Structures are given as C-alpha cells and as structure tokens.
Structure 1
Amino acid sequence: MAKFTFNMPDVGEGVAEAEIVEWMVKVGDTVSEDQHLVDVMTDKATIDIESPVDGTVTEVAGEAGDVVAVGSMLLVVEVEGEDAPEAEEEAAPAPTPTPTPTPEPTPEPKAQPDPAEAPVEAAVEAPSGAKVLASPAVRQRACDLGIDLGEVKPASDGRVRHADLDQFLAYNAGAGFSPAGAKREDEAIKVIGLRKRIAANMSAAKRNIPHFTYVEECDVTDLEAMRSDLNSARGSKPKLTMMPLLITAFCKVLPSYPMINARFDDEAGVVTRHGSVHLGMATQTGNGLMVPVIRDAQSRNLWQLASEITRLAEAARDGSAKSEELSGSTLTLTSLGPLGGVATTPVINRPEVAIIGPNRIIERPMFVSDGMGGERIEKRKLMNISISCDHRVVDGYDAASFIQEVKTLIETPVLLLSD
C-alpha cells in the first residue's frame, strides 16, 4: 500500500487559498477516481474538488471554515500498490517549489506558498483596531451581519471561524445581529393571462399618455359623521362606505367639466365627451387588477351605488363578471382603502383621460372657527384626493377646478343630498 498526497489544486488565476465549505468524505471512506471530495470557496466562486485516484482516505486538511493554501496538502489517500501515483505533481502544482524534506519523521511535505499570499494574509484589522485572523468567507459574513471581528473570541489558535461567529450570535441574540429573514430561492414566473393584459395596458398608457397628477386635501369630518348617521338608520339597505358618497360628488360636478368624463382615440384624433358617467371601479382580485363598470352612475342614489359596488366587486373577484361589465368605462376610480397612503399618482385607464384616487383618512389637529370670530384647535378627519389626467386633453386648471368643486361638496355634505 502507498500513500498519495492530494494537494490543493490551482483553482484560478490569482487565487492563493480557498476555504473548506463542506467535506463529502471523511477519514476511512473509500473513494474512487472523479468522486466528489470537497467543496471549497475562493473569493470568486465555490468549487467542487474531485478525487484523482481510487483508495481510502487517511487524512484530511481541516474542517469546514478552515483555509487551505494552493499547493498544500488537501487530503491523503492510501492506494493499492507500493508506489503512489505519479499524477500528484500534475494534479496539484504548487505556486512555489517544494522544499527538500528533512530527515526527521514529519508529516508529508507541504508546498510552501509565497509568504505574501499565505493564509496569514487573512489577518486584517477590525473596526476596533484589533488584528484578527479569519477566512474571506468569515470576514464577509461578519461584515454582512455588522459584527466587529475584534469583539469575537476565537475558540483556538487565534483564528475566528464560523463556529465562533455562531457562538457570538447566540450570546448576542437580542443585539440585532440576526439576519432579517430566511433566504428564498428565485422564481421565474411567466407573465400570462390577465397579468399580461394588465402589463400591456399599463405600458401603453405610460408610453402614450403624458400624465400629470393633482392632489388636494379635503376635510371629511362632517362627511364621515353623515355617513355614520345614514348607516345607523339604513335598515335593510347595504352599508355605505365612502365610495358611494365620492361617486355622487363626482357625478354632480362632472357636467361642468365634460373633458374629464371622456375617451380619447389618439389614432383617429377624436375626443368623445360622454354625457353618462360609466364609472370604472379598479378592483384587486386574486388574478390581478380588474375594472368592473358602474353603468350610468349619475342616475343612481347612494344606496343603489352601494349595492352595485358590492355586486360588481364580488363578481370580479369570483370570476362571474360578464365582459360587458368589464368594459366601456368613461372615468375610473381607484382606491386602496385604509392602505391608500398620503397621496397616489394613479395610471390612466386608456383610452380614458382621467383617473381619481382617494387616499386614506387620517386624523390631525386643525384650526377651525370658534363661532365668535376666533379659532380653536380641533381634531379633524382629513383625506387627500389625487387625480391623474391626460395633458393632451385636460388642462391643469380644469383638473384643479374640478377637484376644488368636489372638495366643496365633500366638506359640506348636505349638498350631496340636495338636487
């Protein structure tokens, strides 16, 4: 029997050392030529190292986390026959000549790398100023976690290993060093069906329509109080949300601003100003965003609007909405409810020329009249309304004027119920 010393091969230009990531074999295992022995990691990549011979493993260079210099012993294999294979020199060239062995009984000779590239190069200065021995992988991991290696106590020989980092993390679990979350595998999802249509429509809208967005703050304290009163006496009628009230306000103001309730055929160069308000209602479903349409919204009262909103939203989500209920809108309302944020810049539902986005209601202290010529501070409910318009059709002045008139109705809600 003879021993074959397999040295760490040259795994790439400029690579002087590699860290052991995981051993696939252990001392005593029988290995065959081309069998996967170990994974090592350089600063550039993780590499599989395969066996050049058949035999039995008698010695390995170290444990996971240890660093092995190119040309030094990686493992020793006992092979059949009295002479070790001569392939060792070709399989594992050392970066410098191997020194002559001394006569004393010592372990197998190891190639000595250039001192400038030896593992001691891993000694770096930590933020605390301490000199620390650690592999590139350990240094990178500590950096990612925001750990000063100078604060980590090595278990032995002065070199910080992954196990030392693990122990440090265990003792400092509440210090914010733990990863924010588990790593997940990447997923490639083909864009098909409704999501593909949404992508095409949104791309066409942003590509062809010069958008502008106007945002106004509205005091909805009195509107919310009126809604609460109406709901408390609704009987068998559907519960009112903010949506029917807003739609009613839009429908009352739109006759004065027909250019907002319009569709623009840019290929034909024709703008159609619609007399009826067919209001699109952007609705989030399990398959993506759908826009069911409330036909003739201007002809419906609050309770009819509430009922139709509920019916269409349910139909869109369960897939029972008919094609005619998902097309033909002349203006779209999009709302994220309590997730609505402070302001939004919604994308126009082409070929419409405007889209309105109410945002979430927040409470804030405001100066209000005290009825005696002065002011007092009072908690009020406020909501921003965003409108995005097609600047080819709608001027900024008209969009602002439209929202200002809507604001007047919202802040004086009794006007919503008057003819």
Structure 2
Amino acid sequence: MPLRSVTLLGATGSVGRSVRDVVAENPERLSIAVVVGGRDADALARAAIEVGASFAALADAAGGEALKQALSGTGIASGAGRSAVLEAVDRPADIVVSAISGAAGLEATFAALQPGRTIALANKESLVCAGEAVMAQAAEVGARLLPLDSEHNALFQVLGAEPLASVRSMTLTASGGPFRTWSMERIAAATPDQALKHPNYAMGAKITIDSASLMNKGLELIEARFLFDLKPDQLDVLVHPQQIVHGLVTFRDGSVSAGMAVPDMRVAAAHCLGIDGRLDAPPQRFLDLALAAPLSFERPDLVRFPALGLAIAALREGGAMPAVLNAANEVAVAAFLERRLGFPAIAALVEAVCAASPAGSEVPCDVASALAIDQDSRRRAASLLSQARFTVT
C-alpha cells in the first residue's frame, strides 16, 4: 500500500503520543509530515524532530521564537499563532488527526474538512460545540470522519456495514474514575492530585478531571449523538471499571455486540490510521480474556456524579446548550486545578451557567457562532466564579 501522510493536531498530548507510537511501528505505511501543538515549544520541537516532520505550528503566538530556536538547524519549518495552525491544516495530508484538547480544536478541525480527506477525530468538543455544522460540512465536501476516542471507535467498528436503522441503542462505558467507590463526603473533599489518578489511562489533566466527575462521558454521549445520528434516548452509559468493553450496540432484533480491547489509546489510533488496511500491533496490545479480571457493569450514580446528569440534560435540550455546558466545564475544571474551586463546585458552576443561559437557543450553524457561544459562556462562568458560593475557603 502507498505511504500515507499524516497531519497531527495535538502532537504533544496523550493521544498525540499514541499516534506517534503507531506511526513509528508502521514506517512503511505511515509518515507524519505536520505537527501542531499548544504552548510547549520545546515539546513540539522534540515531537517534530522525532517524527521527521517538515512543518511544526504552535498555537501560542508568543512561543514562535522559542519553537524556531529549538528547531534551528533541523530543516523543519515552523510558525506560531492562529494563521500558522491554519497553514498547517491546509498542507496536503491523507489523514488529519484532530487531537487538540477542548474547544480550542474546533476551528482547526473544521478547516481540516477538505474533499477526500480522512479525519481521525479525538477532539470531542468539535461535535459537542458544533456537531451539526461539522457533520454537514464533512458530508458536503466528502471528508471521511473517523472516531478516535476509544468508546466511539469501538461502536464504529461494531456497527460495521450495518445500517443505522438496525440499531436500537448504543452504550458507552466509563471506568468510573478514581472516585467510583467514594462517598459523597470524601468526594466533596477531593483534591486535584487525587482526581488526577485515573485508574486505567495516563491522559492530560483536563480530560482526567472530566473522567473523575463523569463529565467526560457526558460529552462523549453528545459526540455520539452526532457521529451516529441517534436520538438522545438511544444513548446510554454503563460504568465498567475494567474498561475492556468500550462500547455496546444493541440491535433491533435483541442481539448485543461489544467492542472490546485492552485500555490503550493506540488500539483506536491504529484502527483509524489503518482504516484502508489494518495495521499490525505488538503482542502486548492484544486482549487475552482468560487473563482479564472478571468484567463488571453498573449504572452511573447521578447523585454522586451530577456532571453526567447535566450533560444528559444538555444533550436532550440541544440547541446551544451543549456548547454552553462545555465552555462552563472548561472554566470550572481550570479553576479546580488551580485550587480556586472545590470538586463538587465544578458541576455546581456548570449548572449555574447553563441555568443563566437563554433556553431554546438555536444550534450553532457554523464555527463562528459556536465560538461566540463559547466565549459568552466563559464570561458567565468567570463572573459566577467570583461569587462567595464558589469561593474556596
């Protein structure tokens, strides 16, 4: 098969590292030509040199000179700021991996939707904030959108060639996070260090906190609604601590198919990158059910983990509410990590921002309107943060 070129958005994050590993294991099939990072110029330079990229772009314009110096003598061109990121996305590529964390990845993901391209999507916020616009643009230009999140990737593989009309429901699984067995009193006193101890994955700070609150699973429900064109009541969550089963599809005839794999993001990355011919994985990435712990499943507790309930409500309301929810959550998680907000107050702040937002707001029709909702919601969240009820004492 011909060598396929990859543009990697979010090259220095946990998903980016997984993609780089898969590409390194398959040099005869894949090469990374372009890398994009956020603020860490040194880390991006190391990634660019490691993969032999021809261009590196840093989202933070202030880090442009540091990136240039770090790449001096390598022959790798570089740029910084919004225009450089968009230039990176516009460069020729067979596959664009969208793994920039948060709403910051929305504009680049939308720009990546070009005729004939394959987009491996790990930036769930693109669909949470502007799902209808992204999916419509992908269909219009003929871009192929592949889910790189492990749960959605499992559902995608299980679905296969089955028509969506044959699906009764889809279920996403959640580890339950580090607080799965904790009482409400213990959760109320949880520190950032405790919340960052995910039981199965090593991920970035924001997504790890979202996993602890179960907000991440709520965002994934919203993402699945657009990826698979399902109604809210066709989507469900089960807590599955072992994270061997990543997703389940229940068909109209009563049969249930499960997508199973070891909890390793490189499995989903390999599927997306090898979509036209599966890649070979090393032995340690294969699942041996005889050696796996007993598999257990339970319903999520929306009393101890109210963030998931807020996301489900936003999913059902639709319109602008998912974008509002996401923006408020990003502000709240950042404040928690800075120890300006207690763990239970993450959900409380999100709820307050959603309640203060106009009901029935129209769904964002493009990136600009989605970003406008995002910025307005962030301002509301920042204003509410100053109130006494959200102040850490």
Give the TM-score normalised by the residue count of structure 1: 0.20
Which one has a larger percent helix, Structure 1 or Structure 2?
A: 2
Of the two, which has the highest radius of gyration? 1
Q: Which has the higher contact order (CA 8 A, sep 6+)?
A: 2
